Amino acid sequence: MTEREETAVPAGTPDAEAPAAAADAQVDASSAPDDGSAPPEAGAPEDVAPEVPEDPRQPRRRFNPRPDVELPQGYRSSRRGSRALKQARKAAREQRFLRVWDKTRKTSANILWLIGMTLATIAIAGILLWAGAWAVNSIVRWNARRVAAQGQDSERERKSRENLLVIAVENDKPAGFLAMRYDGKAKQVYGVAIPDGAFIEVPGQGFERLGDSLAAGPDVAAAAVSNYFSVPFDRYVVVPAPAYQQALKNQRVSELLNSVSKTNVTPADLSTLKSELAEAPERNVALVPLPVKPIKLGSQTYFEPQRDEIADLLKTWWGVDITKASSIPRAIVYNGAGVPGIAGVAAQKLIRAGYRVVDTKNADRFNYKTTRIVVQRGDKTVGEKAKEVLGTGDVIVQPADQDVADIIVIIGKDFESLSGQ
């Protein structure tokens, strides 16, 4: 064994415990106070620093202590910490972006909702204004048509009361017709004498002698004359042929109504008319024959009226300009119900309402259930007025390149029930 080698002392021997005891004594001596006071006894309480009261004038600080985090040590630990920090920052940025995006999305949705509601409100207001304007315009147009129709009806009624159709008969056969007008203000009498053989359009019978229309009744003859002259002749009187011929010869009508055999004028109106005609001076009476052109067909002689030659008289005496076709609505009436004479009944109604019926005939079939009013020229109001006159019908606008009639009326079963045919 060398000098550097020491002899091992087993634990628990006196020689081994001596150095440990000496070390403990040295530690105790070093921890003893320098002022010579005795060290505190074991288990005695330690001195505690006195608490300093807070100053109420000083604001309290908000302090959020961070938990003690053991920082990584070494190269690898610092690298891992840097990567985690970057991920945390990236996550924070994503959270901020999501918050901004969500806020922007909600703001945009609110703005779009407001814009949509504003546009919807404007659209609804526009629709309501348009509907209101349309309704007001429709009411104004309807009222204008109503007032115009009332004005036309009153004007036509006034003219009709001035007109009188005198029908001369001999042995119950027609001998002549006198379309007469009395102007009460000027005390003047105008009249156009029509031969019974005048070949004109008779409602419901087509073109035939005017005298033959009397077989269907004086109303049919009055409608035929009204239709031909475009002048309303709603009132008529039937007188003997001698009185009629005497009035034409002497140009005097004061005694024309003294022997009336049939009339649709009331007794009071007839008495008034007699008095007015008696007061008219003879110089104010003008009765002229209708210009005609004789046409021989077998044993029958027809007279074709020369309507253009009395155009000036019609315009001067009745204020009707027959050269202006557009001023008088023209109609063609077809029998689509299969009832004899029903087209003539409808034609008479139209004539009394101011229409000129240029033809009446049978339709292509007789099973029309609803009356059709086809407007081929002019405004739809012409057809609407015809519907009002007839009391039924469907108005159809169907323009056509023809200058014969303004409306085509096809009578159906519905008019049959209304007219009682």
3-state secondary structure of 37: coil
Q: What is the mean pLDDT of the chain?
A: 80
DSSP line for 274-285: HHHHHHS-GGGE
Token pair for 37: 């006071």
Placement of tokens 């053991």 in the chain: 70
Buried b (16+ CB within 10 A) or exposed e, 319-332: ebebeeeeeebbbb
Contacts of 279 (CB under 8 A, 6+ apart): 187
Q: How far apart are CA 293 and CA 304, in angstroms?
A: 5
DSSP line for 225-257: HHHHHTS----EEEEEHHHHHHHHHHT--TTGG
Contacts of 347 (CB under 8 A, 6+ apart): 203, 204, 223, 227, 331, 333, 357, 360
Quick one: pLDDT band at residue 144, thresholds 50, 70, 90? low
pLDDT at 44 over 90: no
Percent of the chain exceeding pLDDT 70 equals 75
pLDDT at 87 over 50: yes
Q: How far apart are CA 373 and CA 396, in angstroms?
A: 6
CB 390 within 8 A of CB 409: yes
Quick one: pLDDT band at residue 58, thresholds 50, 70, 90? low
In this structure, of 6-20, 50-64, 280-294, the range with the lowest mean pLDDT score is 6-20
CB 266 within 8 A of CB 236: no
Distance of CA 149 to the CA centre of its chain: 22
Cα dist from 388 to 195, 287, 329, 395, whole Å: 34, 37, 15, 11
Quote the pLDDT of residue 63: 47
Q: How far apart are CA 292 and CA 309, in angstroms?
A: 9
Mean pLDDT along residues 320-325 = 72
Q: How far apart are CA 201 and CA 343, in angstroms?
A: 13
pLDDT tens-digit profile of 221-257? 999 999 888 888 999 999 999 999 999 999 888 888 8
| CATH fold of 324-421 | Alpha-Beta Plaits (3.30.70)
CB 219 within 8 A of CB 348: yes
What is the 3-state secondary structure of 306-364? CHHHHHHHHHHHHCCCCCCHHHCCEEEEEECCCCCCHHHHHHHHHHHCCCEEEEEEECC
Buried b (16+ CB within 10 A) or exposed e, 101-133: eeeeeeeeeeeeeeeeeeeeeeeeeeeeeeeee
Residues in the chain: 421
